[in-house]
Chain A
Amino acid sequence: MSLRIVVCVKYVPDATGDRHFAEDLTVDRDDVDGLLSELDEYAVEQALQIKEAADDDAEITVLTVGPEDAKDALRKALSMGADKAVHVEDDDLHGTDVMGTSLVLAKAVEETGYDLVIAGMASTDGTMGVLPAILAERLGVPQVTLLSEVSVEGGVVKGRRDGDTASEQLEASLPAVVSVTDQSGEARYPSFKGIMAAKKKPVKSLDLDDLDIDAESVGLEGAWTKVDSAAERPARTAGTIVKDEGEGGKQLAEFLAGQKFI
């Protein structure tokens, strides 16, 4: 029996670009280049390592919910070594919040068939970091999240979760939902061969009808949260910059004393 791994990835505006909101207060995707969220590369990497270590066959499906351009993110993951891709795309998905996205992902994961779902620790645009937990709740399977180390053996997933106050070793039976941090191991670069091979790998497209999801439960109207306003943070007023001529530390102390920090 082969191990079926589904990696959930997100196509996001480049975090180093000048990100803005569109008029409807959704993330503006037109003015900034999009790419596979950096934090999801770690999820693809761990999926590849689990596949490489597996005794039996393993198959990696990379899954995204997003606009047409989101295929770029899938292509990147395929060029890293994932086997096939599923793209959920539907005009009614515009403006979907985490509750809607998790609903779509849960249905798509079930439709694809899975033993292990792997996600990144958070997206680099929304940065909530809660989708994997919600996905586990919706699927009714164990949540093994925020792992810095992960392994799968004999139908059991194990990993290390470094929390605020303690480091924990976790264990759960498959099927399960895992998320991995940026400490889990650097993601590989796609090889030229990988890039060429990715062009021939299958990308399956699904829409809301295929997943039997009501359009009213997703999109901006179906969102359970509402953004009322988004304002650019005012630029910080220019501060005092001095060049150290031997007294820099003392000058800084003087400033801190003036601000009552000392």
Chain B
Amino acid sequence: MAEVLVYVDHVDGAVRKPTLELLTLARRIGEPVAVALGSGAEATAATLAEHGAVKVLTADAPEFADYLVVPKVDALQAAYDAVSPAAVLVPSSAEGKEIAARLAVRIESGIITDAIDLEAGDEGPVATQSVFAAAFTTKSRISKGTPVITVKPNSAPVEAAPAAGAVEALSVSFSAQATGTKVTSRTPRESTGRPELTEAAIVVSGGRGVNGAENFAIIEALADSLGAAVGASRAAVDAGWYPHSNQVGQTGKSVSPQLYIASGISGAIQHRAGMQTSKTIVAVNKDAEAPIFDLVDYGVVGDLFEVVPQLTEEVKSRKG
């Protein structure tokens, strides 16, 4: 059976959820061979094996942390050369997309980014994408070389599929470009204790109607009652009420959770582009004409300062 390379996104050995989703998709095409780089790479093996990795290729070197992107491209290319895979799958993070794209140029292959589904096809894997602010769904494939495809979080279920997951050291020789861009310092993002926005099953977002940074406590309280991530519209971020890292929309994160709760968000195209593919959408807005209500499964026309706290209390009491 053909092997499929899966690039592993991990933090010091803790595998991030989108990589496990990739393993599910990789098994539809062939046998997953994982590539884990940097500090903690070997510690990823057990989790990856549980989810279907037949092999885990690992490499660690200071270059992975000290220089931007290119050392990881060199390593992924070394894995490509060693395995000759049927496809290369990479999580659609900002860095993942850049790594995938540079690899694609080097191996003279086409690239598809931000797939939301993947299936085997007669002429290679067929990727589904959501485009034009999620107004269209396309199906595409790579017509030259080895398919290099990046996949968005929440595109497939995480499935247990125990496999050998044998760890093999990957030998990497770094290219002349590897040390071109130095990372002179790194400040880890402070943990909020909430789920990562793009990976969360539930997202609670606030917009212009929240009317002030201090009022986001209401949104956070609802999110915490549901175990949800917190999002914000561009209007709220531009006003300085919430960090840009939490922005949902065309120029922020694109999310596709099971449940999306929009509070005080009108639903401009810029925002819809980032949340339209959510499974269930609910909204609270005082303007009955707000376009967000065209998308919702359930909407409440009312003052979010009344409705949201009441909802939070109700969630808490129902959850006991």
Contacts and interface: CB of A to CB of B under 8 A. Distances in A.
Scoring B68, B269, B273 by chain A CB atoms within 10 A of each residue's CB, the highest score goes to B68
A174 B188 CA distance: 27
A241 B301 contact: yes
Interface stretch (A71-79, A87-95, A201-209, A249-257): A249-257
Contacts of B217: none
Contacts of A166: 186-189
A231 B131 CA distance: 10
Interface stretch (B31-39, B40-48, B55-63, B93-101): B93-101
B139 interface: yes
Nearest to A251: B300
B2 to A, nearest CB: 20
Interface in B260-293: 269-270, 273, 276, 280-282, 284, 288, 293
Interface string A122-163: 001101111001101110111111101000000000100111
B110 A170 contact: no
A145 B98 contact: yes
A75 B186 CA distance: 39
B311 A249 contact: yes
B196 A164 contact: yes
Contacts of A261: 202, 226, 258-259, 280
B80 to A, nearest CB: 15
A201 B270 CA distance: 33
A195 B126 CA distance: 46
Interface string B58-76: 0000000000111001000
Contact of B112 (A137, A176, A225): A225
A9 B101 CA distance: 19
Interface stretch (B81-89, B154-162, B163-171, B302-310): B302-310
Given A161-B68, A170-B183, 9 more contacts: A15-B250, A97-B110, A162-B244, A166-B188, A227-B140, A241-B296, A243-B300, A248-B284, A259-B280
The 4 closest A-B pairs by CB, nearest first: A244-B302, A249-B310, A224-B110, A142-B180
Interface of A: 15-16, 19-21, 25, 39, 97-99, 102, 121, 124-125, 127-130, 133-134, 136-138, 140-146, 148, 158, 161-173, 176, 181-183, 223-233, 236, 239-244, 246-253, 255-257, 259, 261-262
